[in-house]
Structure 1
Amino acid sequence: MNLSTKLFAGFVLISFLFTSVAIVNYRLSEDVIANSNFVTDSQNITRTSASLQRSLIDMETGMRGFLLTGNETFLEPYFSADELLPSQFNLLKEYMREKPEQFRRIKQIEALHYKWRNEFAELLISEKRKEVADGIESRGITALEHGFLVLNEEGKRITDQMRVYFKAFNSIEYEVREKRKGRLEKSIADTRRISTTLTIFSVLLGLGWAYYITRLISRRIMKMVSLADQISYGEYKIQIEDDANDELTRLSESLNRMSSTIDKTFTELDSKNKELDQFAYVVSHDLKAPLRGIENASRWVEEDMGKELPSHIQEYLMMMRVRVHRMENLINGILALARIGRSHLKEEMVDVQALLHEVIDMINPPAGFEIHLPERLPHVEAAKVELQQVFSNLLSNAIKYHHATTGNVVISYAEHEDMHEFSVADDGPGIEEEYHDRIFVLFQTLQERDAVESTGVGLAIVKKIISRNGGTIKVTSTVGKGSAFTFTWPKVKLAEA
C-alpha cells in the first residue's frame, strides 16, 4: 500500500469516527431535549393547575365574604378570578390535548365550576344584592331564598369534588414528571458516557495512527539522512534497504542510485587526479630539464669565450638565465596552485606570532624595510604550511612591489565572533581600484615582468588557500599611499566533503 493511501485511509477512518461521535451526540441530545421539554411542559402544567385552583378559591372566598357582610369589596377577587378562569381552562386543555385522561379531568373540573358558579354562587350573590338594595339588614345566608343550598352543603360538595379531581390530576402529572425526570437524568448520563467513550476512543485511535505513520516515515527518513551523512563523509558505497514499495521506497532507490553515481564519479575523479599528478610531475620534469640545459649552455658559452665575449652578448646570456629562472618559478607556482587541497595537511594550533617571525626570517627583508607586528596575535587552527605561504606571499609582495628602497609593512589583527582577521599594509605605490580584482587572477601582474621578477601566481595561491579554508580576502588601496590586504580565517574550520 502506498504511503499516501495509508495517510488517506487514516484520515478517512478518523473522520468517520468523529462523524459517528457527532451523530450519536446529536441523537442523544435530541432525547435529552425531548425529556427536558417534557419536564418543562409538566412544570408549566402544574403551575397553571395551581393558578387555576387559586382562582377557584378566590371566587369561593370572595362569595362567602360578600354573603356574610353584604360588602361589594369582597367580590373584587371573585370577579377578577372569574375573568381569568376561561383562559386558564383553555391553556390547561391545550397542554392536555395529547393526554385524554387528564383532558377529561379538566373538562370535569370545568363543568363542576360552571355548575357551582351558575347554580350556586350567582344565585346567592344575586339574592344578597337584592337584599342589600332593599335595605334589609343582614339576616344571614340561610334567610336567602336559596340559602338551603348552603345548608344542604351543595356548594361544598361541588368544590370538594373539584378538589378531588385536581388532586388526581396533579398526582398523575407529578408521577409522569418524575418518570420523565428520571429518563432525562439517564439520557444526560448516557450522553456523557457514550460521547466521552467515543471521543476518547477516537482520540486514542487518531494518536495511535499518527504515531504509526510518524514512526513509519521518520524511521525511513532517518535512514535517508544517515545515508546522506555517510555520503558527506565520503562513504559512497552505502545503500538503503527498503522493500515497502511506496513513495519513500522510490526516494530511497533514487538516493541509492545517487550514491552509486557519486561513488563511480569520485572513483573516476580520483583516477583522473592521479593521472594529472603523474602528468604534472612528468611535464614539470620534462620542462625543467631543457631549462636547466639552456642555463648550463649559457654558462658554458661565457666560460669558453671568457673575456673575448662582447658585453652585449653577456647581457643577452644574463637575460636568458633570468627568463629561465622565471620559467622554472612559474612551473613551480603552477604545480603548487594545482596541489592546494589535493594533499591532506595536518591541522594544528599555530602560534601566529612565532610563525610570522619565521616568515620574516625566511624572506629576509632588505635593509631599509621594517615589518611591524602587533603585541598580541592568536593561536589559529590551520595547516601551518598554508598559513605560512599566505603571509610569505603577502609580505614578499609588499617589499617586491615597493617603489622605494625603504618602507614599512604593518601587520594588524582583529578578533570577531567566528573569524580571525589579519591585515598586511604597506606604504608603497598603491593599486588603482580597477585592478583590485584582477590581481588575484592567475598570471596577472601590474608591472612589466622585466621590471619586477614575478610569475603572477602568488596572490592566486593566497586566495585559493584562504577560500578553501572558509575565509575571504580583499584589498584596499590609495594610489601613492600604499595598500592593505585583509583576510579572514575561521575559528572553526569548515567540514570538508
Structure 2
Amino acid sequence: MNLTTKLFAGFVLISFLFTTVAIVNYRLSEDVISNSAFVSDSQNITRTSASLQRSIIDMETGMRGYLLTGNRTFLEPYFSAAALIPGQFTLLKKLMKDKPEQLKRVKEIEDLHQKWREEFAELLISEKDKENKSGDPYRGINKLEHGFLVLNEEGKRITDQMRVYFKAFNTIEYQVRETRNDRLTESIANTRQISTTLTVISVMLGLAWAYYITRLISGRILKMVNLADRISHGEYKTQIEDDANDELTRLTESLNRMSTTIDTTITELESKNKELDQFAYVVSHDLKAPLRGIENASRWVEEDMGKELPAHIREYLLMMRVRVHRMENLINGILALARIGRSHLEEGMIDVQALLFEVIDMLNPPQGFKIHLPDRLPVVEGAKVELQQVFSNLLSNAIKYHHHTTGNITVTHQRLEDAHEFSVMDDGPGIEEEYHDRIFVLFQTLQERDAVESTGVGLAIVKKIIERRGGTIKVSSTLGQGATFTFTWPLLTLDHT
C-alpha cells in the first residue's frame, strides 16, 4: 500500500469516527431535547390544571360568600375566575390533544363545571339578587326557591366530582412526568457516556494511527539521513534496504542510486588523482633532471675555462643558472598548488603568535625591515602547514616587492562573528587597482621576472588555501601608499575529506 493511501485511509477512518460521534451525539441530543420538551409540556399542563382548579374554587368561594351575606363584593372573584376559565379549558384541551384519556377527563370536568354554573351557581345567584331587591337580603339560603340545592349538597357533589377528576388527571400527569424525568436523566447520562467513550476511542485511534504513520515515516527518513551522513563521511558503498514499495521507497532507490553514482565517481576520481600524482612526479622528475644537467654543464664550462672564460660568457652562464633555478621553483610551486586539498594534513589548534615567530625566523628578513605584531594573537583551528604557507607568502611578498631597502610590515587581527580576520600591511610601492584581482591568478607578476625573482604562484596558493577553508582574501592598495592584504580564517573547520 502506498504511503499516500495509508495517510488517506487514516484520514478517512478518523473522519468516519468523528462523523459517527457527531451523528450519535445528534441522535442522543434529539432524545434529550424530546424528553426535555415533554417534561416542560407536562409542567405547563399541571400549571394550567392547577390554575383552572383555583379558578373553579374561586368561583365556588365567591358564590358561597354572596349567598351567605348578600354582599356582591364576594362575587368579584367569581366573575374574575369565570372570565379566565374558558381560556384555561381551551389551553388545557389544546395541550391534551395527543392524550385522548386525559382530554376526556378535561371535557368531563368542563361539562361538570358548566352544569354547576348553569344549574346551580347562576340560578342561586339570580335568586339572591331578587331577594336583595325585595329589601330582605338576610332571610337565609333556605328561603331561596332553590336553596334546597345547597342544603342537600347538590353543588358540593358536583364540585367534589370535579376534584376527583382533577386528582386523577394530575396523578397521571405526575406519573408520566416522573417517567419522562427518569428517561431524561438516563438519556443525559447515556449521552455523556456514549459521547465520551466514542470521543476517547476516536482520539486514541487517531493518536495510534498518527503514531504509526510517524514511526513509519520518521524511521525510514532517519535511515535516509544516516545514509546521507555516511556518504558525507566517505562511506559511498552503503545502501538502504526498503521493500515497502511506496513513495519513500522510490526516494530510497534514488538515494541508493546516488550513493552508487558517487561511489563510482569517487573511485574514478581517486584513480585519476593517482594518475595525476604519478604524472606530476614523473614530469617534475623528468623536467628537473635536464635542468640540473644544464646547471652542471654551465659550472663545468666555468671550471674548464677558468680565467680564460670571457666576462660576458660568465654572465651568460650565471643568467642560465638563474633561469634554471626559476624553472625549478616554478615546477615546485605548480606541484604545491596542485596538491592543496589532496593531501591529508593534521588538523589542530594553532597558536598564531608562535607561528608568526617561526615564519619570521624562517624568512630572516633583511636588516632594514621591521615586522610589527600585536601583543596578543588568537589560537585558531586548522592545519598549521597551510596557515604557515599563507603568512609566509604574504610576508615574503611584502619584503620582496618593496621598493626600498628598509620598510615596515604590520600584522593586525580582529575577531568577527564567525571568523578571525588578519591583515598584512606594508609601506611598499603599492598596487594599482586594475591589478588587484590579477595578482591572485596563476603566473601573474607585477614586475619583470629578471628584476624580482618570482614564479607568480605564491598568491594563487594563498587564495586557494583560504577559500578552501571557507574564508576570503582581498587586497586594498593605492599606488605609492603601500598595500594591505586582508583574509578571514573561519572559526569552524570545514570537512576537507
* TM-score over 0.5 for the pair: yes
> Comparing 402-411 with 137-146, which one deviates more in the overlay?
137-146
> Comparing 302-311 with 44-53, which one deviates more in the overlay?
302-311
Distance (whole Å) between structure 2 residues aligned to residue 159 and residue 428 of structure 1? 134
Q: Which residue of 2 aligns with 1:333?
A: 333
Shift, 1:22, TM fit: 1.4
Q: Which residue of 1 aligns with 2:407?
A: 407
Q: Which residue of 1 aligns with 2:91?
A: 91
Alignment of 1:321 onto 2:321:
yes
Q: Which residue of 2 aligns with 1:386?
A: 386
Distance (whole Å) between structure 2 residues aligned to residue 350 and residue 369 of structure 1? 26
Shift, 1:301, TM fit: 4.1
Amino acid at match of 2:254: S
Q: Work out whether residues 341 and 496 of structure 2, in 8 Å CA contact, stay in contact via their aligned partners in 1.
A: no
Alignment of 1:246 onto 2:226:
no
Q: C-alpha deviations, 1:385-425, integer Å up to 9, x for none? A: 11111110010111112222211001112233442222111
TM-score by length of 2: 0.95
Q: C-alpha deviations, 1:93-114, integer Å up to 9, x for none? A: 0111111110000000001111
Q: Give the 5 Å matches for 1:163-182.
A: 163-182=163-182
Shift, 1:38, TM fit: 0.7
Distance (whole Å) between structure 1 residues aligned to residue 137 and residue 23 of structure 2? 78
Distance (whole Å) between structure 2 residues aligned to residue 179 and residue 434 of structure 1? 104
Q: Which residue of 2 aligns with 1:110?
A: 110
Amino acid at match of 2:415: E
Shift, 1:70, TM fit: 2.6
Amino acid at match of 2:247: E
Secondary structure, aligned partner of 2:442: coil
Q: Work out whether residues 28 and 187 of structure 2, in 8 Å CA contact, stay in contact via their aligned partners in 1.
A: yes
Q: Which residue of 2 aligns with 1:395?
A: 395
Q: Work out whether residues 109 and 162 of structure 2, in 8 Å CA contact, stay in contact via their aligned partners in 1.
A: yes
TM-score by length of 1: 0.95
Q: Give the 5 Å matches for 1:49-68.
A: 49-68=49-68
Alignment of 1:73 onto 2:68:
no
Q: Which residue of 1 aligns with 2:290?
A: 290
Secondary structure, aligned partner of 1:487: strand
Q: Which residue of 1 aligns with 2:7?
A: 7
Q: Which residue of 1 aligns with 2:204?
A: 204
Secondary structure, aligned partner of 1:444: coil
Q: Which residue of 1 aligns with 2:452?
A: 452
Q: Work out whether residues 355 and 388 of structure 2, in 8 Å CA contact, stay in contact via their aligned partners in 1.
A: yes
Distance (whole Å) between structure 2 residues aligned to residue 125 and residue 152 of structure 1? 17
Shift, 1:276, TM fit: 0.0
Q: C-alpha deviations, 1:75-131, integer Å up to 9, x for none? A: 222212111111111111011111111000000000111111111111122222222
Amino acid at match of 2:474: K
Q: Give the 5 Å matches for 1:210-229.
A: 210-229=210-229
Secondary structure, aligned partner of 1:145: coil
> Comparing 222-231 with 71-80, which one deviates more in the overlay?
71-80
Shift, 1:303, TM fit: 4.3
Distance (whole Å) between structure 2 residues aligned to residue 336 and residue 249 of structure 1? 46
Secondary structure, aligned partner of 2:199: helix
Aligned length: 497
Q: RMSD over aligned Cα, in angstroms?
A: 1.8
Shift, 1:176, TM fit: 0.7
Distance (whole Å) between structure 2 residues aligned to residue 390 and residue 237 of structure 1? 37
Shift, 1:305, TM fit: 4.7
Distance (whole Å) between structure 2 residues aligned to residue 296 and residue 143 of structure 1? 175
Distance (whole Å) between structure 1 residues aligned to residue 29 and residue 390 of structure 2? 83
Distance (whole Å) between structure 2 residues aligned to residue 496 and residue 120 of structure 1? 121
Shift, 1:311, TM fit: 4.5
Distance (whole Å) between structure 2 residues aligned to residue 306 and residue 287 of structure 1? 29
Amino acid at match of 1:80: S
Q: Work out whether residues 469 and 489 of structure 2, in 8 Å CA contact, stay in contact via their aligned partners in 1.
A: yes
Structure 1 residues 137 and 83: CA distance shift in structure 2, 3 A: closer
Q: Work out whether residues 128 and 137 of structure 2, in 8 Å CA contact, stay in contact via their aligned partners in 1.
A: no
Secondary structure, aligned partner of 1:449: coil
> Comparing 69-78 with 338-347, which one deviates more in the overlay?
69-78
Shift, 1:318, TM fit: 3.4
Distance (whole Å) between structure 2 residues aligned to residue 208 and residue 427 of structure 1? 74
Where structure 1 has 5 or more consecutive residues not aligned to the other structure, the ranges are none
Shift, 1:306, TM fit: 4.8
Amino acid at match of 1:62: G
Distance (whole Å) between structure 1 residues aligned to residue 361 and residue 11 of structure 2? 76
Alignment of 1:442 onto 2:442:
yes
Q: C-alpha deviations, 1:418-464, integer Å up to 9, x for none? A: 42222111112222333322222222222232332222111111111
Percent sequence identity is 81
Q: C-alpha deviations, 1:267-295, integer Å up to 9, x for none? A: 11111000000001111112222222333
Shift, 1:151, TM fit: 0.9
Distance (whole Å) between structure 1 residues aligned to residue 471 and residue 236 of structure 2? 28
Distance (whole Å) between structure 2 residues aligned to residue 417 and residue 109 of structure 1? 99
Distance (whole Å) between structure 1 residues aligned to residue 79 and residue 314 of structure 2? 155
Secondary structure, aligned partner of 1:30: helix
Amino acid at match of 1:160: D
Q: Which residue of 2 aligns with 1:366?
A: 366
Q: Which residue of 1 aligns with 2:255?
A: 255
Secondary structure, aligned partner of 2:424: strand
In the TM superposition, structure 1's runs of 4+ consecutive aligned residues that sit over 6 Å from their partners are none
Shift, 1:50, TM fit: 0.7
Distance (whole Å) between structure 2 residues aligned to residue 126 and residue 323 of structure 1? 157
Shift, 1:73, TM fit: 2.4
